[in-house]
């Protein structure tokens, strides 16, 4: 059998053709504040349909804030303010006519720390989003959904015999894949992942990377990562964020991942991707 990196490379090549029928996400002129503190300035980025986009950059430069703006979580912070727009397939997700619940349903999120409902069963965890979004389903439909989401989350084989066991009993990496399965159940068009592997061991990290590469066939993915090798392994597009001392975060450089890593145009990008700051 091929080595894991060779397999991953193979999967990347395999899916370079698609993107058809999937959603693009476009941020235009995003400026964000927490009170008086401006944390992002004029950030524009296109995340093409079916791509995996990696957001990289040092801590505190606004990557998580940007990601939360992409599914309207920024507005949960009372002091937060925002200018600019986010277009999902050309439609403004902040349009007052669009319900928040619909924006959230279309744009799922997975966080750094796996956060399944620990006392709920694996099965109930996968189905949890249906209640929140008021989606009705029969038992048979639910069974199918649980299986398909767990399969696509790369967890089915490990849990199919204990779907009624509590989600909190799984390992960290399994819990994170359960969270991925849970977000898939509401059929998002975009999946946002904020450092999804930072709390995991290298083996779990690789399993999640493979899962992501397969998921990119059906959903557009945006991932924040501090792991440059991971960004290089999984992403098609990359954006380098930076906030110079006392100034808001900006995108210094963005483009195809291979070009960003192989031939960075800005010396700061070159230093960062080579681990020099
Ligand atoms: P990153 O994810 O790149 O590490 P963040 O988006 O978390 O960066 O943070 C960007 C800036 O916004 C930081 O200066 C941080 O202190 C500030 N910030 C983040 N969240 C909040 C919040 N809820 N309230 C106030 N300031 C915040
Ligand atoms: Mg962050």
What pLDDT band is residue 134 in, cutting at 50, 70 and 90? confident
The closest of 238, 185, 176, 236 to 211, measured between CA atoms, is: 176
Residue 4 pLDDT exceeds 90: no
For ligand 1, say whether the CB of 59 is within 6 Å of any of its atoms: yes
What pLDDT band is residue 10 in, cutting at 50, 70 and 90? low
**Structure confidence by residue, pLDDT tens digits, 168-218:** 999 999 999 999 999 999 899 999 999 999 999 999 999 999 999 999 999
* Residue of the CA atom closest to atom 22 of ligand 1: 34
Helix (H, G, I), strand (E, B) or coil at 76: helix
What's the order of all strands across the beta sheet hosting 107-110? 107-110, 190-194, 220-224, 52-56, 237-242, 250-256
Q: What is the pTM of this model?
A: 0.92
Dihedral (CA of 251, 88, 190, 85) sign? positive
- The best mutation among 35, 57, 65, 70 to test binding of ligand 1, ranked by most ligand atoms within 8 Å of the C-beta, falls on 65
Dihedral (CA of 238, 242, 248, 254) sign? negative
What pLDDT band is residue 276 in, cutting at 50, 70 and 90? confident
| Angstrom distances, CA of residue 253 to CA of 90, 108, 133, 159 | 23, 26, 37, 42
Residue 15 pLDDT exceeds 60: no
**What is this model's ipTM?**
0.98
pLDDT value for 120: 97
* Residue of the CA atom closest to atom 25 of ligand 1: 34
For ligand 1, say whether the CB of 175 is within 6 Å of any of its atoms: no
CA 141, chain centre distance (Å)? 26
pLDDT value for 16: 62
């Amino acid at each position: 059998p091929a080595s894991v990196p060779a397999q991953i490379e193979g999967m990347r090549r395999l899916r370079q053709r698609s993107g058809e029928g999937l959603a693009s996400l476009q941020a235009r002129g995003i400026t964000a504040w927490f009170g008086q503190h401006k944390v992002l300035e004029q950030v524009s980025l296109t995340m093409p349909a079916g791509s995996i986009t990696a957001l990289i950059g040092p801590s505190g430069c606004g990557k998580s804030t940007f990601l939360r703006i992409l599914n309207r979580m920024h507005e949960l912070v009372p002091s937060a303010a925002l200018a600019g727009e986010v277009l999902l397939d050309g439609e403004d997700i902040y349009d007052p006519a669009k319900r928040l619940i619909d924006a959230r349903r279309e744009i799922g999120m997975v966080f750094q720390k796996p956060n399944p409902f620990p006392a709920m069963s694996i099965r109930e965890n996968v189905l949890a989003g249906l209640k929140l979004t008021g989606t009705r389903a029969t038992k048979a439909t639910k069974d199918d959904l649980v299986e398909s989401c767990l399969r696509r989350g790369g967890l089915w084989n490990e849990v199919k015999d204990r779907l009624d066991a509590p989600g909190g009993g799984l390992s960290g990496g399994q819990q994170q894949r359960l969270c991925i399965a849970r977000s898939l159940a509401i059929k998002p068009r975009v999946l946002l992942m904020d450092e999804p592997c930072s709390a995991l061991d290298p083996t779990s990290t690789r399993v999640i990377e493979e899962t992501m590469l397969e998921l990119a066939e059906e959903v557009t993915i945006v991932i924040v990562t501090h792991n440059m090798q991971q960004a290089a392994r999984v992403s098609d597009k990359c954006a380098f964020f930076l906030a110079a001392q006392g100034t808001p975060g900006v995108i210094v450089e963005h483009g195809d991942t291979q070009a960003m890593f192989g031939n960075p145009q800005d010396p700061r990008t070159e230093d960062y991707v080579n681990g020099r700051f």
